Amino acid sequence: MDVIEVSLKDRLGDFDLDVSFTVPAWGITALFGRSGSGKTTVLRAIAGLTHTDRGRVRINGETWQDDSRFLPAHRRPLGYVFQEASLFPHLSVLKNLQYGWRRVPATQRKIKLDSVIELLGIAPLLKRTTHSLSGGERQRVAIARALITSPKLLLMDEPLSALDHDAKQAILPYLETLHDELSIPSIYVSHDPNEVARLADQMILIDAGKVVASGMAADLLTRLDLPLAGYDNASALLEGTVIEHDPDHHLTWISMQTERLAVSREDLPVGRPARVEILARDVSLSLKKHSDTSIINILSVRVIGMQETNPGQIIVQLKLEDGQTLLSRITLRSARSLDLHEGMQLFAQVKAVALV
């Protein structure tokens, strides 16, 4: 059965770690929580780098750890990307890549050295020494080095957190490609909702050593009972299909059963699944469908929940006709003047849509 089963218990500083989850072994699972919530410990324990008092780790039916068995880290077929790239300073970039590759039996090498080098765009760096690389380049090499071992599970511990904004934005597309091109299940530790929205399929929310919620990222991001919807950059994910391009206006149209959304033109084949992120603050509400507005994307929605997040601000949970969920953040004053209530039918005007 293709699932990742993890169950860990330990004493951790001033709280108990007691984490247990089962997620499908595909795509990217975000392990999300504040710093100090225990997410790195969970990741390290899965890798066998940290011993927990009690632990059970099973990947696709293969037991890495239970009460009677503890496979040391070097015998677990996994890739690990640390927060800092941690390249070996005594080896060149190429030798760093080969370090893991050489230690994988030839019959288990499913991923080619060349294809990973190409995927992460590091061919020009191969002969360089590691200390001459920029932060973003280092992290790309570190990711490549982990991938080349053909891992059954890729573990990433906030791989972007040590990078500045530009380097982060430059590396995200590589992670997305990786997600699309390689079928390696990954667990991605993060405390950045934006990264989660862009990368994650599933999500495990963890706080003070406990799993608070787990499920599809799109569901968890918009749940009002979880802290994510209250974040300043709270967002929703919508899934659709590319249906046509409008070169004149430089737009790409994405269809979601009953609605369609325009995004800034992307070179994607028609028919391809697409995921868009819509920030709560970019969605305004209106009782009528205005045509006299600059806004292109107007969706018909129904209010299914409301909550005051900050004084004077309301986050509204909205359901599209196809069942997908959207968030809108408006002021308390607007909510009152619209007489907003659950079950109400209205229109969401979406100012910005980002293809992720």
Contact positions toward other proteins, by CB under 8 A? Answer: 47-49, 72-75, 78-80, 82, 84, 86, 88-90, 99-100, 103-104, 131, 145-146, 149
Of 122 and 229, nearer to other proteins (C-beta) is 122
Of 142 and 306, nearer to other proteins (C-beta) is 142
Give least dist CB 114 to other proteins, A. 19
Of 147 and 279, nearer to other proteins (C-beta) is 147
Of 78 and 93, nearer to other proteins (C-beta) is 78
Give least dist CB 187 to other proteins, A. 13
Of 73 and 213, nearer to other proteins (C-beta) is 73
Give residue 114's Cα distance to chain centre: 26
Give least dist CB 82 to other proteins, A. 7
Of 84 and 219, nearer to other proteins (C-beta) is 84
Give least dist CB 130 to other proteins, A. 10
Give least dist CB 150 to other proteins, A. 11
Of 142 and 316, nearer to other proteins (C-beta) is 142
Structure tokens given for 21:
């989850």
Within 10 Å of residue 300's Cβ, how many Cβ atoms?
14
Give least dist CB 75 to other proteins, A. 8
Give least dist CB 86 to other proteins, A. 5
